[in-house]
Amino acid sequence: MFKLCSNKMVSEAGSEVEPLVSPGALSEHRKYLQDPIASTDLSERLRIIQFLLEGLKVYGSVYHINHGNPFNMEVLVDSWPDYQMVIIRPQKQEMTDDMDSYTNVYRIFSKDPQKSQEVLKNCEIINWKQRLQIQGLQESLGEGIRAAAFSKSVKVEHSTAVLLVTEDILKLNASNKSKFGSWAETGHPDDDFESETPNFKYAQLAVSYSGLGNDNWKRGGNERSLRFIKRCIQDLPAACMLGPEGVPVSWVTMDPSCEVGMAYSMEKYRRTGNMARVMVRYMKYLHQKNIPFYLSVREENERSRRFVQQF
């Protein structure tokens, strides 16, 4: 069952720093993910759970970095081992298009969000000359982002959503149990292809349908978004329900931080249960492979929130 938490995702519009720690060195996140409820002290349990949920974007990104790093990301910390702030960003060679906000994405976790603005102001860490996104699951990061953007005369657009996770995320031991290798190498379990409805078939979403996903994504519809979707489908888990014509009628993908998204059903096939069947089988696969995942839904999208909470 999905649980609700606060989620702040902030989008910015709009030198180099070397990674201070290797991706595998974030042992504190890994330790908490192995058995966060083992502590007998209630306050410590709550602190660990909060720490885990607020750091999901960073942890999900580190998971993909440790499993082939298909999006060529790097990890930055302010100090080590006693870090206060972690930033995941693409490597320099990835951020060559100043207008590509799908690629120019920074994912942040801070133990002290109130003091984050000085780090964010550093142009060697954040390239404020680009159109970019800064994503985090800590609402208190917003003030630091606004202050840093104001100091650079950058216009800020905020997008607030609700974070949804399964209870299993609190017990996930992805770092030890997950198998390395790409989605394409691993594939679905055979039983995931069994059809429950005549003329419909659950399948892996093929890269050839990237254009279909791009045309129906609210944030898509352009060449940059198409490139991003192609990479997500090619390198990360993506599933669909094929209709009678053999074309996807419902589908879902994952982003570089392990967020499940871009879920969509063609209008003709809505309210038929196809999306629910896709989501159930997709999440089953992620659970079987110990792949961390979470979802976020816009606050105003009450229908989508109710739909997700049924799983």
Domain-wise residue ranges, the chain = 2-170, 179-289
Mean pLDDT (10-residue bins), the chain, 311 residues:
36 35 39 45 76 91 96 93 93 97 97 86 93 93 92 90 80 51 45 62 97 97 98 98 96 97 94 91 92 85 70 63
Rounded to 10 deg, the angle between the 42-54 and 56-65 helix axes is 60
CA-nearest of 249, 151, 134, 265 to 202 is 249
> Is 167:2 a contact under the CB 8 Å cutoff?
no
Amino acid letter at 285? Y
Report the topology of domain 179-289: Aminopeptidase (3.40.630)
> Is 162:299 a contact under the CB 8 Å cutoff?
yes
What is the predicted pLDDT for the residue at 259? Answer: 96
Residues 6+ apart with CB under 8 A from 96: none
Give the CB-side neighbour count of residue 3, counting CA atoms within 13 A. Answer: 10
Quickly list H helices, 79-221: 117-121, 141-151, 174-177, 183-186, 210-215
Could you report the per-residue pLDDT of 172-230, keeping only the tens digit for each?
A: 554 444 553 444 444 444 444 454 567 899 999 999 999 999 999 999 999 999 999 99
What is the predicted pLDDT for the residue at 305? Answer: 67
Q: What is the DSSP letter of 134?
A: E
Could you report the per-residue pLDDT of 33-53, keeping only the tens digit for each?
A: 444 445 457 777 777 778 888
